[in-house]
Amino acid sequence: MLRAVALDMMLALAVHAHNDFNDAMIELGASIDGHMLLPGDRRFGRSVKQWNKRFDTKEPSGVVYCASEQDVIDTLVLLDSFPACYTVRSAGHSFPGWSVRDNCTIIDVSGLDAIEYDQQTRVVTVGPGTNFWDFTEALGKVKRTTTHGFGPTVSFGGYTQGGGVGLTHRKYGLAIDNLLSARVILPNGTELLASAASHPDLFWALRGGGGGNWGVVTSYSFKTYDGSSPVMYVMLEWRFSKEIVDETGRIWQQYFVNNTDVDFGFYWRINGNPVLGEVGTKVQIYGIYTGAISTGETVVRHFTELFPTAPHSTEIKIVTIDAAYKRFMKPFKHTPHTGFFLQSRLLSKPMHDEAFSVLAHQLDKLHFLQTFTLIWMDPMGGRVAEVDGNSTAFPWRNAFANFAIFVFYLTDAVQESAASWMEDTWSKLDPSMGDNNVYVNFCFENVPDWQSAYYGENYARLQHVKAKYDPKQRMTFPQSIEPQHSHMELSVV
């Protein structure tokens, strides 16, 4: 009897706490500059859809759309007074869907998308919701540039904290190598500026330690570079065949071994077509040559001549760097809402030659009109490798290339077969790929020993930072940094 009474009391307290939380959230929604959506609102279902359709079934408890830094502070202060969990979302491009969790509140900062350029310091400051398309346009107007990705709807929030690769990182370094400071709201609502001079331990962690671990970043300030000189937009394309995959992959890798030309950073890609299948699938080598045009013309010509099979189509245009970025981004501005699986590896050295034959043969196992793939490698080196591996949280400075495979499925009926294809393909490639190092922005659910794979020897230091700035471990998700047990108290001045 006593146990039954105690259980009834616990249930009553839980219901009361739940009601208190709901009431508090409703009051918050009425007071902030932004707005809130709760289950039952006709817009709620659309608001929780993910970029990866595989996770559209997640059921968060609400979405707080923050329109100002004060909104973020007010939201975190409220959430800190309840045990309710939450996640942070800028653009929602988390490949494993971790920006939305069941029964957790989403703090959406996509509305923090201001772009401010200081003519005197040549520093650009952006909100975490600033997407790469808008950013490219804004810097193009002032003839400046810096490292950023080329997914037009991707934003700076998680991208920056993971490291930030892009078409020009060999020239300008990773995005984090150009990060000068970041405004951060800690889980308890404390606001601070992280930089080399202010909270340098947090600044170190923000540069490669992965998004959603330390607090909510409300702005980033980056160094920029002269963007007034013309560049070369280059797209070399071959119709798919097994021989072309093998030939282009091997030669691309050989070309980048000990290559010190920072102006040349072309990607290699197999671009699958779900409708036309093998007929529509292309093998592409593409990028931006950032050096002198006369030199670039010679470099690109000599590079192209390395291939026994000439490209089936070649497009080279002399444009401004912002125009080049936009040419690469435009095809991805409107993409179908599909589910997919991803696995990736930061290659420490070139893959074995047989890897390309494996890739080509595995594509025969895809069922077009149902599943298709996107496979690419982007070269590291250049400015990326000039930074010591423990100077920032991103440890893999000596990586050769970033290799990734996406397999998309168009109907739920083939989701399992897509997953099986990925598992089979990855297991066949694994002996050719070397050490299990992974770029944290290309994270995936089943990466072995993720702590070491993402962060290497930097993980223990990241745990120390986690314990200091998020001692109650409020910011959690699968594969979030696990804090060291510590009684350290944070003193913010």
Within a domain: 160 = yes
* Other C-beta atoms lying within 10 Å of the C-beta of residue 343: 23
Q: What per-residue confidence (pLDDT) applies to 138? A: 98
Would you list the DSSP string of 449-471?
THHHHHHGGGHHHHHHHHHHH-T
* Other C-beta atoms lying within 10 Å of the C-beta of residue 401: 22
The CATH number for 36's domain is: 3.30.43.10
| 469 token code pair | 């700035």
pLDDT band, very low/low/confident/very high, at 486 (cuts 50, 70, 90):
very low
By CB atoms closer than 10 A (0-12, 13-18, 19+), residue 258 is exposed
Please identify, among 74, 89, 108, the residue that sits at the C-terminal boundary of a domain: 108
Same domain, 187 and 135: yes
Does the pLDDT at position 5 exceed 80? Answer: no
Sign of CA dihedral 461, 465, 466, 468: positive
Same domain, 301 and 196: no
Within a domain: 393 = yes
Average pLDDT over residues 66-84: 97
Q: What per-residue confidence (pLDDT) applies to 483? A: 82
| 178 token code pair | 């150009």
Its domain, for residue 177, covers 115-227+454-469
Same domain, 66 and 202: no
The CA distance from 179 to 124, in Å, is 10
Long-range Cβ contacts of 35-44 (<8 Å, 24+ apart): 35/65, 35/67, 36/62, 36/63, 36/64, 36/65, 37/62, 37/63, 37/65, 38/62
pLDDT band, very low/low/confident/very high, at 3 (cuts 50, 70, 90):
very low
Same domain, 144 and 261: no
The CATH number for 188's domain is: 3.30.465.10
Average pLDDT over residues 327-351: 95
Q: State the chain's mean pLDDT as an integer.
A: 93
Same domain, 77 and 220: no
Report the chain's terminal Cα–Cα distance, integer Å.
54
Alpha helices in 142-193 (DSSP H): 156-162, 169-172
The CA distance from 73 to 87, in Å, is 14
Q: What per-residue confidence (pLDDT) applies to 29? A: 94
Average pLDDT over residues 94-122: 97
pLDDT band, very low/low/confident/very high, at 493 (cuts 50, 70, 90):
very low
pLDDT band, very low/low/confident/very high, at 487 (cuts 50, 70, 90):
very low
Same domain, 241 and 266: yes
Within a domain: 413 = yes
Task: Compute the CA torsion angle 97, 100, 101, 104 (nearest 10 deg).
Answer: 170
Q: What per-residue confidence (pLDDT) applies to 485? A: 65
Q: Are 346 and 437 in contact (CB under 8 A)?
A: yes
By CB atoms closer than 10 A (0-12, 13-18, 19+), residue 370 is middle
Q: What per-residue confidence (pLDDT) applies to 305? A: 98
Please identify, among 108, 124, 154, the residue that sits at the C-terminal boundary of a domain: 108
Within a domain: 484 = no
The CATH number for 392's domain is: 3.40.462.20
Q: Considering only 452-456, 459-463, 477-481, 487-491, which range has the smallest mean pLDDT?
A: 487-491
Q: What per-residue confidence (pLDDT) applies to 11? A: 33
Same domain, 144 and 84: no
Q: What per-residue confidence (pLDDT) applies to 10? A: 32
Same domain, 102 and 123: no
Q: What per-residue confidence (pLDDT) applies to 490? A: 44
The CA distance from 470 to 215, in Å, is 8
Nearest partner of 252 among 356, 407, 383, judged by Cα:
356
Q: Say whether 201 sits in a helix, a strand or coil.
A: helix
Beta bridge partners of 401: 347, 379
Q: What per-residue confidence (pLDDT) applies to 367? A: 80
The tens digit of pLDDT for each residue in 179-195 reads 999 999 999 999 999 99
pLDDT band, very low/low/confident/very high, at 336 (cuts 50, 70, 90):
confident
Q: What per-residue confidence (pLDDT) applies to 2? A: 45
Within a domain: 482 = no
Same domain, 213 and 241: no
Same domain, 208 and 295: no
The CA distance from 316 to 417, in Å, is 39
Does the pLDDT at position 469 exceed 70? Answer: yes
**Sheet bearing 339-347, strands edge to edge:** 313-319, 231-239, 282-289, 267-271, 371-379, 401-409, 339-347
The tens digit of pLDDT for each residue in 362-381 reads 998 888 779 999 999 999 99
Within a domain: 128 = yes
The CA distance from 336 to 376, in Å, is 19
Within a domain: 49 = yes
Same domain, 159 and 85: no
Same domain, 338 and 434: yes
Would you list the DSSP string of 267-298?
EEEEE--TTTGGGT-EEEEEEEE-S-HHHHHH
pLDDT band, very low/low/confident/very high, at 276 (cuts 50, 70, 90):
confident
Considering the chain, what percentage of its residues have pLDDT values greater than 70?
95
Q: Considering only 90-94, 205-209, 340-344, 436-440, which range has the smallest mean pLDDT?
A: 90-94
Q: Say whether 2 sits in a helix, a strand or coil.
A: helix
Does the pLDDT at position 457 exceed 60? Answer: yes
pLDDT band, very low/low/confident/very high, at 279 (cuts 50, 70, 90):
confident
Count of structural domains within the chain: 3
Within a domain: 126 = yes
Q: Are 345 and 433 in contact (CB under 8 A)?
A: yes
The CA distance from 387 to 263, in Å, is 18
Please identify, among 68, 85, 108, the residue that sits at the C-terminal boundary of a domain: 108
